[in-house]
Amino acid sequence: MTAYLLRRTLRAFLTLWVAVTFFFILFRIDVDIGVMALDLTASQEAIEAFNERWGFDRSLPDQYLIWLSGALQGDFGYSFRDGRPASEWVSERLPKTLELSLAGFTLMILIGVPAGLMAAIRNGTAMDRTIMGLAAAGYSLPSFVLGLTLMYVFAVFLQLLPSTGSTTWAHLVLPAATYGFTGAAQIARYTRAAMLEVLGKPYIAAARASGAPANAVVLEHAAPNAAIPVVTMLGFSAGQLVGHAVIVETVFAWPGLGQALISAVANRDLAVVQVMVMIFAAFMIGANLIVDILYGVLDPRIRTAGGAHG
Protein backbone atom coordinates (compact mmCIF):
# COMPACT_ATOMS: atom_id res chain seq x y z
CA MET A 1 0.00 0.00 0.00
CA THR A 2 2.74 2.45 0.83
CA ALA A 3 4.46 1.55 -2.39
CA TYR A 4 1.25 2.40 -4.19
CA LEU A 5 1.02 5.75 -2.45
CA LEU A 6 4.61 6.55 -3.18
CA ARG A 7 4.19 5.74 -6.84
CA ARG A 8 1.11 7.88 -7.11
CA THR A 9 2.69 10.82 -5.36
CA LEU A 10 5.74 10.54 -7.54
CA ARG A 11 3.60 10.47 -10.60
CA ALA A 12 1.66 13.50 -9.42
CA PHE A 13 4.83 15.49 -8.94
CA LEU A 14 6.07 14.37 -12.30
CA THR A 15 2.86 15.49 -13.97
CA LEU A 16 3.01 18.77 -12.15
CA TRP A 17 6.56 19.37 -13.24
CA VAL A 18 5.71 18.52 -16.84
CA ALA A 19 2.70 20.83 -16.72
CA VAL A 20 4.71 23.66 -15.27
CA THR A 21 7.43 23.26 -17.85
CA PHE A 22 4.92 22.95 -20.61
CA PHE A 23 3.19 26.17 -19.69
CA PHE A 24 6.49 27.89 -19.22
CA ILE A 25 7.49 27.03 -22.75
CA LEU A 26 4.06 27.84 -24.09
CA PHE A 27 4.28 31.33 -22.75
CA ARG A 28 7.59 32.00 -24.31
CA ILE A 29 7.46 30.58 -27.76
CA ASP A 30 6.54 32.59 -30.76
CA VAL A 31 5.92 35.66 -28.71
CA ASP A 32 7.80 38.82 -28.55
CA ILE A 33 6.84 39.52 -25.03
CA GLY A 34 8.12 43.00 -25.02
CA VAL A 35 5.92 43.96 -27.91
CA MET A 36 2.97 42.26 -26.35
CA ALA A 37 3.25 43.77 -22.92
CA LEU A 38 3.96 47.26 -24.08
CA ASP A 39 2.15 48.28 -27.16
CA LEU A 40 2.88 48.45 -30.83
CA THR A 41 4.03 52.01 -30.74
CA ALA A 42 6.77 51.30 -28.23
CA SER A 43 10.23 52.07 -29.49
CA GLN A 44 12.90 49.50 -29.98
CA GLU A 45 14.84 50.81 -26.99
CA ALA A 46 11.82 50.58 -24.76
CA ILE A 47 11.27 47.00 -25.82
CA GLU A 48 14.88 46.12 -25.22
CA ALA A 49 14.87 47.77 -21.84
CA PHE A 50 11.75 45.86 -20.96
CA ASN A 51 13.23 42.59 -22.08
CA GLU A 52 16.35 43.20 -20.13
CA ARG A 53 14.53 44.15 -17.02
CA TRP A 54 12.36 41.08 -17.02
CA GLY A 55 15.04 38.80 -18.25
CA PHE A 56 13.55 37.91 -21.60
CA ASP A 57 16.73 38.52 -23.48
CA ARG A 58 18.35 35.44 -22.03
CA SER A 59 18.14 32.07 -23.63
CA LEU A 60 15.18 29.85 -22.94
CA PRO A 61 16.93 27.29 -20.71
CA ASP A 62 18.45 30.15 -18.72
CA GLN A 63 15.09 31.74 -18.21
CA TYR A 64 13.68 28.42 -17.16
CA LEU A 65 16.31 27.81 -14.53
CA ILE A 66 16.00 31.32 -13.20
CA TRP A 67 12.27 31.02 -13.00
CA LEU A 68 12.36 27.57 -11.46
CA SER A 69 14.81 28.47 -8.76
CA GLY A 70 12.76 31.53 -8.02
CA ALA A 71 9.56 29.58 -7.94
CA LEU A 72 10.92 27.08 -5.48
CA GLN A 73 11.57 29.98 -3.16
CA GLY A 74 8.14 31.39 -3.65
CA ASP A 75 9.04 34.06 -6.16
CA PHE A 76 6.89 33.74 -9.24
CA GLY A 77 7.79 36.82 -11.12
CA TYR A 78 6.10 40.15 -11.28
CA SER A 79 3.04 41.54 -12.90
CA PHE A 80 3.78 43.71 -15.89
CA ARG A 81 1.00 46.07 -15.11
CA ASP A 82 1.70 47.11 -11.62
CA GLY A 83 4.94 45.45 -10.77
CA ARG A 84 3.55 43.59 -7.83
CA PRO A 85 4.83 40.09 -7.23
CA ALA A 86 2.59 37.57 -8.88
CA SER A 87 2.48 35.63 -5.66
CA GLU A 88 0.75 38.59 -4.06
CA TRP A 89 -1.99 38.34 -6.60
CA VAL A 90 -2.35 34.69 -5.75
CA SER A 91 -2.44 35.16 -2.01
CA GLU A 92 -5.05 37.86 -2.37
CA ARG A 93 -7.32 35.95 -4.63
CA LEU A 94 -6.86 32.33 -3.69
CA PRO A 95 -8.83 32.44 -0.42
CA LYS A 96 -11.81 33.87 -2.24
CA THR A 97 -11.72 31.19 -4.85
CA LEU A 98 -11.35 28.51 -2.24
CA GLU A 99 -14.28 29.90 -0.32
CA LEU A 100 -16.51 29.78 -3.35
CA SER A 101 -15.21 26.45 -4.59
CA LEU A 102 -15.72 24.78 -1.27
CA ALA A 103 -19.22 26.10 -0.97
CA GLY A 104 -19.98 25.01 -4.48
CA PHE A 105 -18.40 21.61 -4.09
CA THR A 106 -20.29 20.92 -0.89
CA LEU A 107 -23.51 21.89 -2.54
CA MET A 108 -22.71 19.71 -5.50
CA ILE A 109 -22.24 16.68 -3.30
CA LEU A 110 -25.22 17.43 -1.12
CA ILE A 111 -27.50 17.64 -4.10
CA GLY A 112 -25.91 15.23 -6.50
CA VAL A 113 -25.18 12.17 -4.41
CA PRO A 114 -28.58 11.78 -2.76
CA ALA A 115 -30.28 12.51 -6.06
CA GLY A 116 -28.27 9.80 -7.76
CA LEU A 117 -28.90 7.34 -4.97
CA MET A 118 -32.58 8.09 -5.00
CA ALA A 119 -32.79 7.67 -8.72
CA ALA A 120 -30.99 4.34 -8.52
CA ILE A 121 -33.13 2.98 -5.72
CA ARG A 122 -36.34 4.07 -7.37
CA ASN A 123 -35.06 2.86 -10.67
CA GLY A 124 -37.57 3.01 -13.50
CA THR A 125 -40.12 5.11 -11.69
CA ALA A 126 -41.24 8.61 -12.51
CA MET A 127 -38.91 9.95 -9.86
CA ASP A 128 -35.96 8.31 -11.53
CA ARG A 129 -36.89 9.77 -14.86
CA THR A 130 -37.47 13.20 -13.40
CA ILE A 131 -34.15 13.24 -11.65
CA MET A 132 -32.36 12.03 -14.72
CA GLY A 133 -34.17 14.54 -16.83
CA LEU A 134 -33.07 17.30 -14.51
CA ALA A 135 -29.57 15.92 -14.58
CA ALA A 136 -29.52 15.93 -18.36
CA ALA A 137 -30.72 19.50 -18.30
CA GLY A 138 -28.16 20.50 -15.71
CA TYR A 139 -25.43 18.88 -17.67
CA SER A 140 -26.39 20.66 -20.87
CA LEU A 141 -26.83 24.06 -19.33
CA PRO A 142 -23.73 26.17 -19.56
CA SER A 143 -22.75 27.54 -16.19
CA PHE A 144 -22.80 31.10 -17.37
CA VAL A 145 -26.34 30.80 -18.63
CA LEU A 146 -27.46 29.20 -15.40
CA GLY A 147 -25.64 31.83 -13.40
CA LEU A 148 -27.21 34.67 -15.29
CA THR A 149 -30.62 33.06 -15.06
CA LEU A 150 -30.32 32.70 -11.31
CA MET A 151 -29.06 36.22 -11.12
CA TYR A 152 -32.02 37.46 -13.09
CA VAL A 153 -34.59 35.55 -11.14
CA PHE A 154 -33.28 36.18 -7.66
CA ALA A 155 -31.44 39.45 -7.94
CA VAL A 156 -33.29 41.34 -10.59
CA PHE A 157 -36.77 39.99 -10.59
CA LEU A 158 -37.30 38.95 -7.02
CA GLN A 159 -34.65 41.26 -5.67
CA LEU A 160 -33.89 38.77 -2.95
CA LEU A 161 -30.14 38.42 -3.30
CA PRO A 162 -27.29 40.63 -4.38
CA SER A 163 -26.01 40.04 -7.87
CA THR A 164 -22.33 40.80 -7.83
CA GLY A 165 -19.52 41.28 -5.42
CA SER A 166 -18.56 39.21 -2.45
CA THR A 167 -18.89 41.15 0.77
CA THR A 168 -21.61 39.30 2.59
CA TRP A 169 -22.51 35.66 2.86
CA ALA A 170 -25.59 36.45 0.82
CA HIS A 171 -23.29 37.11 -2.06
CA LEU A 172 -22.12 33.55 -1.85
CA VAL A 173 -25.50 31.98 -2.47
CA LEU A 174 -25.97 32.51 -6.16
CA PRO A 175 -22.49 31.67 -7.35
CA ALA A 176 -22.33 28.60 -5.14
CA ALA A 177 -25.74 27.54 -6.37
CA THR A 178 -24.55 27.85 -9.94
CA TYR A 179 -21.60 25.62 -9.21
CA GLY A 180 -23.77 23.33 -7.26
CA PHE A 181 -26.42 22.66 -9.87
CA THR A 182 -24.08 22.32 -12.79
CA GLY A 183 -21.82 19.91 -10.96
CA ALA A 184 -24.62 18.03 -9.24
CA ALA A 185 -26.00 16.89 -12.57
CA GLN A 186 -22.81 15.03 -13.46
CA ILE A 187 -22.47 13.58 -9.98
CA ALA A 188 -26.07 12.42 -9.90
CA ARG A 189 -25.61 10.57 -13.16
CA TYR A 190 -22.50 8.82 -12.05
CA THR A 191 -23.80 7.99 -8.61
CA ARG A 192 -26.88 6.49 -10.13
CA ALA A 193 -24.88 4.44 -12.59
CA ALA A 194 -22.49 3.22 -9.93
CA MET A 195 -25.31 2.40 -7.58
CA LEU A 196 -27.25 0.51 -10.21
CA GLU A 197 -24.20 -1.50 -11.05
CA VAL A 198 -23.77 -2.46 -7.43
CA LEU A 199 -27.45 -3.16 -6.91
CA GLY A 200 -27.37 -5.61 -9.74
CA LYS A 201 -24.67 -7.69 -8.15
CA PRO A 202 -25.43 -11.09 -6.68
CA TYR A 203 -24.44 -10.22 -3.15
CA ILE A 204 -27.14 -7.61 -3.00
CA ALA A 205 -29.75 -10.08 -4.11
CA ALA A 206 -28.44 -12.42 -1.46
CA ALA A 207 -28.69 -9.73 1.18
CA ARG A 208 -32.22 -8.94 0.16
CA ALA A 209 -33.19 -12.57 0.13
CA SER A 210 -31.88 -12.98 3.64
CA GLY A 211 -34.66 -10.70 4.73
CA ALA A 212 -32.63 -7.65 5.64
CA PRO A 213 -34.65 -4.45 5.60
CA ALA A 214 -34.24 -2.50 2.39
CA ASN A 215 -32.57 0.45 4.04
CA ALA A 216 -29.94 -1.67 5.66
CA VAL A 217 -29.22 -3.34 2.36
CA VAL A 218 -28.66 -0.01 0.73
CA LEU A 219 -26.65 1.61 3.44
CA GLU A 220 -24.50 -1.23 4.59
CA HIS A 221 -23.99 -3.26 1.48
CA ALA A 222 -24.58 -1.22 -1.60
CA ALA A 223 -23.46 2.27 -0.72
CA PRO A 224 -19.93 1.48 0.43
CA ASN A 225 -19.22 -0.45 -2.73
CA ALA A 226 -20.66 2.23 -4.90
CA ALA A 227 -18.52 4.70 -3.05
CA ILE A 228 -15.39 3.83 -4.96
CA PRO A 229 -16.41 4.95 -8.43
CA VAL A 230 -18.27 7.87 -6.93
CA VAL A 231 -15.17 9.04 -5.13
CA THR A 232 -13.27 8.84 -8.36
CA MET A 233 -15.97 10.90 -9.97
CA LEU A 234 -15.84 13.45 -7.20
CA GLY A 235 -12.13 13.84 -7.66
CA PHE A 236 -12.68 14.42 -11.32
CA SER A 237 -15.37 16.98 -10.52
CA ALA A 238 -13.07 18.80 -8.17
CA GLY A 239 -10.73 19.25 -11.05
CA GLN A 240 -13.54 20.45 -13.27
CA LEU A 241 -14.41 23.04 -10.67
CA VAL A 242 -11.34 24.84 -11.75
CA GLY A 243 -12.79 25.40 -15.16
CA HIS A 244 -16.08 26.52 -13.77
CA ALA A 245 -14.35 28.84 -11.36
CA VAL A 246 -13.23 30.98 -14.21
CA ILE A 247 -16.70 31.34 -15.63
CA VAL A 248 -18.72 31.65 -12.45
CA GLU A 249 -16.39 34.21 -10.97
CA THR A 250 -16.61 36.27 -14.11
CA VAL A 251 -20.39 36.14 -14.17
CA PHE A 252 -20.77 37.22 -10.57
CA ALA A 253 -17.71 39.45 -10.45
CA TRP A 254 -16.43 37.35 -7.61
CA PRO A 255 -12.88 38.54 -6.85
CA GLY A 256 -11.16 35.20 -7.09
CA LEU A 257 -8.35 33.64 -9.11
CA GLY A 258 -10.59 32.88 -12.04
CA GLN A 259 -11.64 36.41 -12.56
CA ALA A 260 -8.09 37.62 -12.09
CA LEU A 261 -6.95 35.15 -14.68
CA ILE A 262 -9.32 36.48 -17.28
CA SER A 263 -8.40 40.07 -16.68
CA ALA A 264 -4.73 39.17 -16.75
CA VAL A 265 -5.26 37.50 -20.08
CA ALA A 266 -7.06 40.54 -21.37
CA ASN A 267 -4.15 42.68 -20.20
CA ARG A 268 -1.56 40.35 -21.62
CA ASP A 269 0.00 40.14 -18.19
CA LEU A 270 1.80 36.93 -18.88
CA ALA A 271 3.58 36.50 -15.61
CA VAL A 272 0.34 36.53 -13.70
CA VAL A 273 -1.38 34.31 -16.24
CA GLN A 274 1.43 31.83 -15.99
CA VAL A 275 1.27 31.60 -12.23
CA MET A 276 -2.46 31.23 -12.11
CA VAL A 277 -2.54 28.63 -14.80
CA MET A 278 -0.01 26.64 -12.86
CA ILE A 279 -1.99 26.99 -9.67
CA PHE A 280 -5.05 25.65 -11.37
CA ALA A 281 -3.07 22.79 -12.86
CA ALA A 282 -1.57 22.00 -9.47
CA PHE A 283 -5.01 22.01 -7.97
CA MET A 284 -6.33 19.52 -10.44
CA ILE A 285 -3.32 17.26 -10.09
CA GLY A 286 -3.64 17.47 -6.35
CA ALA A 287 -7.30 16.55 -6.51
CA ASN A 288 -6.46 13.51 -8.61
CA LEU A 289 -3.80 12.51 -6.16
CA ILE A 290 -6.23 12.72 -3.26
CA VAL A 291 -8.64 10.58 -5.21
CA ASP A 292 -5.91 8.04 -5.80
CA ILE A 293 -5.12 7.98 -2.11
CA LEU A 294 -8.75 7.64 -1.14
CA TYR A 295 -9.07 4.91 -3.72
CA GLY A 296 -6.22 3.09 -2.13
CA VAL A 297 -7.83 3.40 1.26
CA LEU A 298 -11.27 2.39 0.16
CA ASP A 299 -10.52 -0.42 -2.20
CA PRO A 300 -9.46 -3.41 -0.15
CA ARG A 301 -7.90 -5.00 -3.17
CA ILE A 302 -5.32 -2.29 -3.30
CA ARG A 303 -4.92 -2.08 0.42
CA THR A 304 -3.95 -5.70 0.72
CA ALA A 305 -2.14 -6.06 -2.53
CA GLY A 306 1.01 -4.68 -1.04
CA GLY A 307 1.58 -2.25 -3.82
CA ALA A 308 2.61 -4.85 -6.35
CA HIS A 309 0.39 -3.19 -8.88
CA GLY A 310 0.63 0.43 -9.83
Partner 1 sequence: MAEAVLHGARVRPPLSLRLAVGWLVLVVIVALIGPYLAPYGLNEQDFTARFAPPVLAGGDWAHPLGTDQIGRDLLSRLIGAIRISLLLALMGTVIGMIIGTALGMTAAYFRGWIEDVIMALVDFQAALPFIIFAIAALAVFEAGFVTFLLILGIAGWERYARLVRALVLQAQNDGYADALNSLGAHPVRIYLLHILPNIFGAVSVQMTINFPETILLETGLSFLGIGIQPPFTSLGLLVSEGRPYIFQAIWLIAFPGAAIFLTTLSVSLLGDRARDRADILSRKD
Q: Which residues bind partner 1 (CB under 8 A)?
A: 15, 18-19, 22-23, 26-27, 29-31, 123-124, 128-129, 132-133, 136-137, 139-145, 148-149, 151-152, 156, 163, 193, 196-197, 199-201, 239-240, 242-243, 246-247, 250-251, 261-262, 264-266, 268, 270, 273-274, 277, 280-281, 284-285, 288
Q: What is the CA radius of gyration of the chain?
A: 24
Q: Give 136 or 306: the residue with its C-beta nearer to partner 1.
A: 136
What is the distance between the alpha carbons of residues 181 and 146, in angstroms, rounded to a whole number?
A: 9
Long-range contacts of 158-164 (CB under 8 A, 24+ apart): 163/252, 164/252, 164/253, 164/254
Closest listed residue to residue 160, CA positions, set 141, 177, 143, 144: 177
Least distance from C-beta 253 to partner 1, angstroms?
10
Helix/strand/coil (H, E, C) string of 123-174?
CCCHHHHHHHHHHHHHHHCCHHHHHHHHHHHHHHHCCCCCCCCCCCCHHHHH
Element spanning 92, H or E: helix 86-121
DSSP 58: S
Least distance from C-beta 304 to partner 1, angstroms?
26
Q: Give 30 or 45: the residue with its C-beta nearer to partner 1.
A: 30
Q: Give 31 or 303: the residue with its C-beta nearer to partner 1.
A: 31
Least distance from C-beta 178 to partner 1, angstroms?
13
Q: Give 255 or 303: the residue with its C-beta nearer to partner 1.
A: 255
Q: Can you say how many angstroms the Cα of residue 295 is from the centroid of all Cα atoms in its chain?
A: 19
Least distance from C-beta 39 to partner 1, angstroms?
15
Least distance from C-beta 61 to partner 1, angstroms?
19
Least distance from C-beta 280 to partner 1, angstroms?
5
Q: Give 166 or 182: the residue with its C-beta nearer to partner 1.
A: 182
Closest listed residue to residue 225, CA positions, set 200, 186, 202, 194: 194
Q: Give 27 or 64: the residue with its C-beta nearer to partner 1.
A: 27
